[in-house]
Amino acid sequence: MAEPLLSLTDLRAGYGPTQILQGISLDVAQGERLALIGRNGVGKTTLLATIMGLTTLHGGALNWNGAPIGKLAPHRRAALGLGLVPQTRDIFKSLTVEENLIAGLRGDASIEEAYDLFPRLKERRRNGGGQLSGGEQQMLSVARTLMGRPKLLMLDEPLEGLAPVICEMLMDVFERLAGDGRTTVILVEQHAGMALGFADRGVILEAGRIVHTGDAKTLRADAATLGRYLGVGLAD
């Protein structure tokens, strides 16, 4: 059996002395599409931040291609191939679109690849980040992360607050990125139907613990489980 790309074992983490994740164990395979869902405040964002090295690790282990990374700084994890698109987007608003992309460049990545995925960014390449719409800022946040050539792309609620047409465009890009099996994707998303429609596997978090994991299509059709842990009916 192939070594998981990412392996989490009894992961306990949070912010300072506050522990939010309560023993997360999860293996993510190369090329897998994982949807991470659950109510607000259950630890989804904290889990992505912990994988990236942005929280306080209280215990447990993180392995990347079989090697421990729990003590590595975020920039060293990025160099290994981990990439996070945060919910806050975190673009440089005082820099132009093109300067934002240049700031993220690593290795043989090309700005033209970003413009191929997001033609609108090419049209706005000389505009400042602060001059962009919310949807354009999200495109830029995704594109800048991709300039680092991530093997694992973690997306924290990338569709939040965006118009349906922008959501569809972004999901098409994620499909394109994941389609060749080289980019592994962990998607945190409140639109559970959309997330599970994209993913191979669905994982539900509740109070900092994994309470359900299984085939995404099966979970998408399981109204009882979704209702129990999400508190509402499934909506795309």
CATH number at residue 33: 3.40.50.300
Q: How confident is the model at residue 181 (pLDDT cuts 50, 70, 90)?
A: confident
Task: Say if 235 falls within a structural domain.
Answer: no
List pLDDT tens digits, range 188-199: 998 899 999 999
Q: How confident is the model at residue 236 (pLDDT cuts 50, 70, 90)?
A: very low
- Domain limits for position 186: 29-58+71-81+150-229
Domain shared by 163 and 223, yes or no? yes
**What pLDDT, on a 0 to 100 scale, did the predictor assign at position 89?**
86
Three-state SS annotation for the chain: CCCCCEEEEEEEEEECCEEEEEEEEEEECCCCEEEEECCCCCCHHHHHHHHHCCCEEEEEEEEECCEECCCCCHHHHHHHCEEEECCCCCCCCCCEHHHHHHHHCCCCCCHHHHHHHCHHHHHCCCCEHHHCCHHHHHHHHHHHHHCCCCCEEEEECCCCCCCHHHHHHHHHHHHHHHCCCCCEEEEECCCHHHHHHHCCEEEEEECCEEEEEEEHHHHHCCHHHHHHHHCCCCCC
Domain final residue pick, 131, 149, 167: 149
Domain shared by 77 and 165, yes or no? yes
Predicted TM-score (pTM) of the model is 0.94
Q: Which residue has the tokens 């897998």?
A: 32
Q: How confident is the model at residue 36 (pLDDT cuts 50, 70, 90)?
A: very high
Task: Say if 1 falls within a structural domain.
Answer: no
Identity of the amino acid at 130? G
Domain shared by 225 and 165, yes or no? yes
Between the alpha carbon of residue 108 and those of residues 100, 113, 121, 150, 156, the distances in Å are 17, 11, 20, 12, 26
List pLDDT tens digits, range 131-140: 999 999 999 9
Of residues 236 and 132, more confidence is placed in 132
Task: Say if 65 falls within a structural domain.
Answer: no
Domain shared by 54 and 154, yes or no? yes
List pLDDT tens digits, range 205-231: 999 999 999 999 999 999 999 999 998
**Mean pLDDT for the chain?**
94
Number of separate domains in the chain: 2
Domain final residue pick, 134, 149, 164: 149
Task: Say if 236 falls within a structural domain.
Answer: no
List pLDDT tens digits, range 56-90: 999 999 999 999 999 999 999 999 999 999 998 88
Domain final residue pick, 149, 164, 179: 149
Domain shared by 110 and 187, yes or no? no
**What pLDDT, on a 0 to 100 scale, did the predictor assign at position 147?**
95
Task: Say if 20 falls within a structural domain.
Answer: no
- Provide the phi-psi class of 8: left if phi over 0, else alpha when psi is between -120 and 50, else beta: beta
Domain shared by 163 and 77, yes or no? yes
Task: Say if 9 falls within a structural domain.
Answer: no
Domain shared by 44 and 109, yes or no? no
Q: What is the rounded CA–CA span in Å between residue 234 and residue 8? A: 28
Asked if residue 117 has pLDDT above 50, the reply is yes
**What pLDDT, on a 0 to 100 scale, did the predictor assign at position 81?**
96
Task: Say if 3 falls within a structural domain.
Answer: no
Q: What is the rounded CA–CA span in Å between residue 144 and residue 166? A: 18
Q: How confident is the model at residue 235 (pLDDT cuts 50, 70, 90)?
A: very low
Domain shared by 143 and 102, yes or no? yes
Task: Say if 63 falls within a structural domain.
Answer: no
**What pLDDT, on a 0 to 100 scale, did the predictor assign at position 122?**
96
